[in-house]
Amino acid sequence: MAKNIQAIRGMNDYLPGETAIWQRIESSLKNVLGSYGYSEIRLPIVEQTPLFKRAIGEVTDVVEKEMYTFDDRNGDSLTLRPEGTAGCVRAGIEHGLLYNQEQRLWYVGPMFRYERPQKGRYRQFHQLGVEVFGLQGPDIDAELIMLTARWWRELGIASHVALELNSIGSLEARATYRDALVAFLEQHKDKLDEDCLRRMYSNPLRVLDTKNPDIQTLLNDAPKLGDYLDDESREHFAGLCAFLDAAGIAYTVNQRLVRGLDYYNRTVFEWVTSSLGAQGTVCAGGRYDGLVEQLGGRATPAVGFAMGLERLVLLVQAVNPEFKAESVVDIYLVASGANTQSAAMLLGEQVRDALPGVRLMMNHGGGNFKKQFARADKWGARVALVLGESEIADGNVVVKDLRSGEQSTVTQESVAAHLRTLLG
C-alpha cells in the first residue's frame, strides 16, 4: 500500500467547516475597503529574488533566513513572496500606475516564510494588504488606521485590540540615531544575547523589539529615537495624532516600535492583542516614501499595512463567538418517488433563476424522507422544498420552514415569491 502524502509542515489545509468563517470575515473586510473607495489588485505569488532583497533589505531576518528561494530552469533566482508590498510597488511601476497618480489598492493571498510553525504563525500564511500611493499627508495615514478600526468594530473585536504608534523619522534622522544606538550597545556588549549581537551592526534598530526581558530593561537607558526626529517627521506625527484624537481612536506611542522591514520611514503602527499569547500583532504597517524610487520608479509617497488572516480568524473565534459562519445552504430540495429527480432538478433551476444569490442544494444519492431531511439539517438549511409524485402531478411543491416546522403547499409557479417572503 502506497504511503500517504501529507501537507508540508506549516502549510495548512482549510476544510469546508473552516472556510465558511474565513469567507464571512473576508467579505466584511472587502465591503469596508469598498466603502472607502479602494480597488483590488492581483499579484503573482512568485517574483524575482532581487525585488525582495532591494525592498526588504539584505540584512533583515526575512531575506537572510526566511525566504523560499530557488532557481528556475533558466537559472533565474525566484522567490515565493514573503510579503505583498514589494510586488505591489513593482506592479505599479511596471504598469505606469504611480507616476503623478493617486492609487488606493488592496490585495489578498498567500505569503511564504520559512519560520518555526506555531499557533498563528505558519510557513504559508494569508495576508490582506492595503497600499496608498501619491499622498504624503498625515491625513491618509489616519484614514488607514480609521479603516482598520472600522473593521474591528464590524468583527466585534474592538475592545480586544490596541493601537501602538511611532515615528521612525527620515532616513537621515535614523542614520544619526543608529550611530547613537550602536555606541550605547557597544558599551553593554556583555549583556547582549547572540541575536542582538548579530543585529548590533547589521540592523541595530531591530534590537529595540527584542523579546529578551533583560535586554528590554537595558534598553530603558538607551537613546530614544524620538529625540532624533527631523522637524518634518515631528510635524507629520503630530498631525497624525491630532487626526486620531479627533476621531476618538485611542493609541499608545511606543518609541521601540520600528517594524522589521527596511523600507519604512516616519509613521509606523501596529494593532496588538493580548488574546493570542505570544503572537500579539494582528495588523501592522507604516509609511515607505522612498521605496518606489528605490525600486526604479519616480519618487512617490506611499503608506500601507498588512494583516495576517490566520491570526484575525483566531482572534474573532476567541473573543466573539457570536460571529459565526453562515450556513452553506438556504434551501434543500427533497425529491421522493419514481422519476421525480429530473423534475426536482428543473424546479431547482427555476428557483435559482428567480432568486439570484439564494443557495439551493439538490438532494442526490436517493434516500427516504427521513434521510433527506437529516441531510438538510446537516447543511443548515432554513427551508426544505419537497417534491413527490403527487406534487408533480398537481403542479405543486411543499415548502417546509425547518426552524418553525410549519409547512404549506404552493404552486410551482408561485414558489419563488413564497420563498422570497419566507427567507426575507
Same-domain status, 341 and 310: no
Domain count within the chain: 2
Same-domain status, 362 and 315: no
Checking if the pLDDT of 210 tops 90, the result is no
* Most confident by average pLDDT, 149-153, 365-369, 375-379: 149-153
Same-domain status, 298 and 358: no
Checking if the pLDDT of 257 tops 90, the result is no
Same-domain status, 271 and 401: no
Chain length of the chain: 424
Rounded Cα distance between 210 and 193, Å, is 10
CATH number of the domain at 29, please.
3.30.930.10
Same-domain status, 238 and 342: no
Which among 164, 195, 211, 202 is positioned nearest to 181, based on CA atoms?
A: 202
Domain assignment present for residue 268? The answer is yes
Which of 293, 319, 345 terminates a domain? The answer is 319
Same-domain status, 378 and 279: no
Q: Are 411 and 360 in contact (CB under 8 A)?
A: no
Q: Are 384 and 405 in contact (CB under 8 A)?
A: no
Domain assignment present for residue 185? The answer is no
Which of 319, 350, 374 terminates a domain? The answer is 319
Domain assignment present for residue 177? The answer is no
Domain assignment present for residue 186? The answer is no
Specify the pLDDT at position 327: 75
Domain assignment present for residue 219? The answer is no
Specify the pLDDT at position 113: 94
pLDDT digits (tens, 9 = 90+) for 372-388: 999 998 888 999 999 98
pLDDT digits (tens, 9 = 90+) for 103-148: 999 999 999 999 888 877 889 999 999 999 999 999 999 999 999 9
Task: Concatenate the DSSP letters of all residues of 221-287 into one string.
Answer: GSPPGGGG--HHHHHHHHHHHHHHHHHT---EE-TT---SSTT-EEEEEEEE-STTTT--EEEEEEE
Which of 319, 354, 381 terminates a domain? The answer is 319
Domain assignment present for residue 140? The answer is yes
Same-domain status, 259 and 151: yes
Checking if the pLDDT of 59 tops 80, the result is no
Checking if the pLDDT of 260 tops 70, the result is no
Same-domain status, 295 and 349: no
Checking if the pLDDT of 7 tops 70, the result is yes
Domain assignment present for residue 293? The answer is yes
Checking if the pLDDT of 189 tops 90, the result is no
Specify the pLDDT at position 287: 94
Q: Average the pLDDT over 322-341 and give the result.
A: 84
Same-domain status, 342 and 312: no
Q: By residue range, what is the domain housing residue 310?
A: 16-169+229-319
Rounded Cα distance between 305 and 259, Å, is 11
Domain assignment present for residue 191? The answer is no
pLDDT, averaged across the chain: 90
Q: Average the pLDDT over 30-42 and give the result.
A: 96
Same-domain status, 85 and 129: yes
Q: Average the pLDDT over 320-325 and give the result.
A: 80
Provide, rounded to the nearest whole percent, the portion of the chain with pLDDT above 90.
58
